[in-house]
Amino acid sequence: MFLSDRQAKIIEMAKSAGRVLVDDLAVHFSVTPQTIRKDLNDLCDAQLLNRIHGGATLPRGTENMRYEARRQMAAAEKQAIGAAAAQLIPNNSSLFINIGTTTEAVGEALVDHKELMVVTNNINVANTLRLVDDIDVVIAGGVVRQSDGGIVGEAAVDFIRQFKVDYAVIGASAIDPDGSIFDYDFREVKVAQAIIANARHVILVADSSKFERTAPVRIGQISQIHTFITDRCEWAEFRGMCEQSGVRLIETSETAC
């Protein structure tokens, strides 16, 4: 789904207020209620919002958005995060890349690297990098999740444990103020935990919308990460935790605090 400017603003308003109402949005944007209802229906079909009587709310913390919707959300921010992560990864190194639209942006930014070995459970990353002559791609075995091409399950965990790589690039669906990192799928989380345990330097990539979301399954704590790359971090307490734990915080936004 391609988001119009109005639809993108509706999502931002829902994030701020928790819900949006048809009549209020019609007045705010100077359009008819019918136009707003169509916007909300489109956003709900893409699982960006949940429809309620008279308006819509953000999805509950146990629900994840559809892959295409997630890929388009904060696309520019993800591209900048991907470029920043790629700059940290030298040629002639090995790395894990796990599931996620932001980790896929890292994969896209690595195409000019030389002599890399990339171990991944993300079919989309594998498809991007398999065409690069100087990059060897090793793909995990396991159950392929139809929604996004992620490979999950115990077979994937066992496969990851065979390696010890220089770098790992992981994503997350939600980050709490106390430094906890979360995702939705227990099987995916088990793979992420194996990746963290078998990499010498772990890079977490997540745009700032992850500070506003919740998810049910804990991946770990920010103290287990070496570098965290986001577009901006406005939580002073969280920034303090990064500093205290020796986590390098990189903010790609020009307006970063």
Does domain 5-59 match CATH 1.10.10.10? Answer: yes
pLDDT of residue 256 exceeding 50: no
CATH architecture of 70-251: 3-Layer(aba) Sandwich (3.40)
Using an 8 Å Cβ cutoff, are 172 and 204 in contact?
yes
Domain boundaries, the chain: 5-59, 70-251
Instruction: Please report the pLDDT score of residue 68 as a whole number.
Output: 60
Task: Please compute the mean of the pLDDT values over residues 68-93 and round it to a whole number.
Answer: 87
Instruction: Please report the pLDDT score of residue 51 as a whole number.
Output: 86
Concatenated DSSP letters for the chain?
-PPPHHHHHHHHHHHHHSEEEHHHHHHHHT--HHHHHHHHHHHHHTTSSEEETTEEEPPPTT----HHHHHHTTHHHHHHHHHHHHHHS-SS-EEEE-SSHHHHHHHHHTTT--SEEEEESBHHHHHHHTT-TTEEEEE--SEEPTTT-BEESHHHHHHHTT--EEEEEE--SEE-TTSEEEES-HHHHHHHHHHHHTEEEEEEE--GGGGG---SEEEEEGGG-SEEEES----HHHHHHHHHHTPEEEE--TT--
Cα dihedral value 236, 241, 246, 251, nearest 10: -40
With 0.85 as the threshold, say if the pTM is over it: no
pLDDT interval class at 161 (50, 70, 90): very high
The 10s digit of each residue's pLDDT in 11-33 is 888 877 778 999 999 999 999 99
CA 76 and chain centroid, separation:
13
The 10s digit of each residue's pLDDT in 174-203 is 999 999 999 988 989 999 999 999 999 999
Give the whole-angstrom CA distance, residue 204 versus residue 210. Answer: 12
Concatenated DSSP letters for 75-128?
HHHHHHHHHHHHHHS-SS-EEEE-SSHHHHHHHHHTTT--SEEEEESBHHHHHH
pLDDT of residue 134 exceeding 50: yes
Residue in 250, 241, 237 with CA at minimum distance from that of residue 208: 250
Residue 144, CA distances (Å) to 36, 163, 209 in order: 37, 21, 26
pLDDT of residue 65 exceeding 60: no
